[in-house]
Amino acid sequence: MSHLDEGTLTALLDGEIPSDVLPSITSHLEGCAACRSLLEELRQLAGEADSLVTSLGDGLATPVGTGVVVPNTSVRRTGTLRLVAWAATVVMAAGLGYWVGLPVATPPQMLAESTALPAAVEVQENRVPTVAELPSVESTQPVRSTAAAANRRAISAAAEPAAGAAPPQVVAQDAPATLGRAAARNDLQAAQSADASSGFRAELASPRAAAAPAPPAEGLAALRDRQEIAVESFAPIEFVDAVARMGGTLRLIDGLVPDRLEASTATIRVIYPLLTGELVLEQRRIGDSVSVSLRGPISPDSLAVLRRKVR
Amino acid sequence: MTEFLTGLFAQYHESLVRMLFRRTGDRDRAEDLAQEVFARAVAAPPRNPRPWLFAVALNLVREDGRKAVRQGRRLELYRAEHPQHFDGPDEGLERDESVARVRRALDTLVERDREALLLKAEGFNYDEIAATLGLAKGAIGTTLSRARRRLVDAYRQEEGDRHVAS
């Protein structure tokens, strides 16, 4: 097999490779150091490019890198005012349209697209429960953070830097500015998510969200799961191996740049740096389904918004 | 209809303004363009709203950009990009310069690459980027790869020029 092209590797990083094609790609990567090297280069480029785009800001004058994610009431008020202004625009536009007897001008190409586009875009071939629909294991955080910190210390002391799975200490020593920038960027993204939460709030409180299936494993089973998780031992894992372990689909938080990946016998962790700590996206395969949880040192509102960005 | 459009606004307005702000560097202009996009959605309610709204927005930016070039307004846009902030003067100046360098780097990209990057930053998947930009889904990986590489290279060039100048 010839080498993988950059477009394919970029699609792999973005989680856009169809599951039926993925095995041949991961198989090639396992045996091709050149492609693995290119994949790592593209991963770094993606992180840096995303960071640059995010640094342009959002037009809402959010201070960069505050590390504090709270619902922004002033933004909501502004949104209400904009809604009123927009409603006025709508009324005026519709009125003018009726008065002139012509529809408001829309580029012909877009009119064609508006009718040609599918009603919904299906990303996932094998539908699994979304993160919002799955039980959270956030309550295990105190136990797990202690165990995870011990694991990370042991792993960092023993592990060599590996492509796509560099231990945090290595990154911090070699490129503190890069890590700080990634953390600041992730914090900013998280903050933007919190700002955007006013837009999502209605949906989060919708009957669909309320009707999400109750966690099947509450009670003793849930306690048992948490106990198992608490004693799991995690070690660094490469991106390609993590994808393979998850059966071809590794969930990531859209718009955030992971710092590293870790794996235990049953669970994969994708870890994102924040200025205030780490955001941990955990996923494990249980039969044909995937259990996903997200935790980190940010508000429940922000976590809820970020859960919706897991792809 | 009103409920549909209100929901559309609540769901996409912030993301649309953010993308437009990053594209134009002008918050007021981003707001104005977003208002225009939603006004057009009244006339032709889209079936697949997100790609539709962002495609119309990017079309408007292109049209407006052509007018702006004719009217020599680009310098004003750069001047207007400085956001309000709460840093001290040195930190604020440094960040403004950094943002200006990123914007200049972004401006070196071809339109399609730049738009693909901005849409990806808004959480668009490849299907949505393809629908918005009128590209084949299979071309999105290559487009994003090229765009990221060029942006980073151009930014590093900007950084290099700054160090040489100082």
* Residue of A3, A117, A186, A311 for testing the chain B interface, max B β-carbons within 10 Å: A117
Q: Which pLDDT does position A159 carry in this prediction? A: 36
> Which one of A63-72, A139-148, B23-32 scores highest in mean pLDDT?
B23-32
Query: How many angstroms separate the CA of residue A193 from the nearest CA in chain B?
Result: 10
* Residue B2 predicted with pLDDT over 70: no
Q: Which pLDDT does position B88 carry in this prediction? A: 53
Mean pLDDT on A69-97: 44
Of A84 and A305, which is predicted with more confidence? Answer: A305
State the amino acid at position A240 in one-letter form.
Answer: V
Give chain B positions within 8 Å (CB) of A107: 56, 59
Share the mean pLDDT of chain B. Answer: 82
> At residue A101, what are phi and psi to the nearest 5 degrees?
85, 15
Q: How many residues does chain A have?
A: 311
* Residue B154 predicted with pLDDT over 80: yes
pLDDT band at A88 (very low <50, low <70, confident <90, very high): low
Query: Could you report the per-residue pLDDT of B22-50, keeping only the tens digit for each?
Result: 999 888 889 889 988 988 888 788 888 99
- Contact call for B131 and A117, based on CB within 8 A: yes
Asked whether the whole model's pTM tops 0.80, one would answer no
**A-B C-beta contacts closer than 8 Å:** 198
The 10 Å CB-count burial string (b at 16+, else e) for A75-99 is beeebeebeeebeeebeebeeebee
> Which one of A153-167, A169-183, A220-234, A251-265 scores highest in mean pLDDT?
A251-265
Cα A10 to Cα A7, B11, B124, B147, B155, distances in angstroms = 5, 28, 15, 11, 20
Share the mean pLDDT of chain A. Answer: 61
* Residue B8 predicted with pLDDT over 80: yes
Mean pLDDT on A26-42: 94
Q: Which pLDDT does position B86 carry in this prediction? A: 45
Of A269 and A183, which is predicted with more confidence? Answer: A269
Of A185 and B40, which is predicted with more confidence? Answer: B40
Sheet with A267-274, strands from edge to edge, namely: A235-236, A260-263, A267-274, A277-286, A289-295
Q: Which pLDDT does position B136 carry in this prediction? A: 96
Query: Could you report the per-residue pLDDT of A254-280, keeping only the tens digit for each?
Result: 777 788 899 988 889 999 887 677 889
- Contact call for A121 and B48, based on CB within 8 A: yes
Give chain B positions within 8 Å (CB) of A88: none
Q: Which pLDDT does position B15 carry in this prediction? A: 93
Residues A79-88: contacts with CB within 8 Å, 24+ apart? Answer: A79/A198, A79/A199, A79/B10, A79/B13, A79/B14, A82/B13, A82/B31, A83/B6, A83/B9, A83/B10, A85/B35, A86/B9, A86/B13, A86/B35, A86/B38, A87/B6
Give chain B positions within 8 Å (CB) of A82: 13, 31
Query: Could you report the per-residue pLDDT of A115-134, keeping only the tens digit for each?
Result: 333 333 333 333 334 333 43
Query: Could you report the per-residue pLDDT of B68-98, keeping only the tens digit for each?
Result: 555 544 434 343 344 444 445 555 666 678 8
Of B80 and B61, which is predicted with more confidence? Answer: B61
Residues 39 through 58 of chain A touching chain B, CB cutoff 8 Å: 42, 45-46, 48-50, 52-58
Q: Which pLDDT does position A297 carry in this prediction? A: 82
pLDDT band at B160 (very low <50, low <70, confident <90, very high): confident
By CB atoms closer than 10 A (0-12, 13-18, 19+), residue A35 is buried
* Residue A100 predicted with pLDDT over 50: no
Query: Could you report the per-residue pLDDT of B85-137, keeping only the tens digit for each?
Result: 444 555 566 667 888 999 999 999 999 999 999 999 999 999 999 999 999 99
- Contact call for A63 and B139, based on CB within 8 A: no
Query: How many angstroms separate the CA of residue B70 from the nearest CA in chain A?
Result: 21
Quote the CA–CA distance of A199 and A298 in Å, as a whole number: 19
Name residue, tokens 């005012």.
A81
Q: Lowest-pLDDT range, A45-59, A207-221, B62-76?
A: A207-221
User: How big is chain B by its Cα radius of gyration, in Å?
Assistant: 17
Of B47, B84, B118, the CB nearest to A53: B118
- A95 token code pair: 């009125």
Q: Which pLDDT does position A182 carry in this prediction? A: 47
- Contact call for B149 and A54, based on CB within 8 A: no
Query: How many angstroms separate the CA of residue B64 from the nearest CA in chain A?
Result: 14
- Contact call for B131 and A119, based on CB within 8 A: no
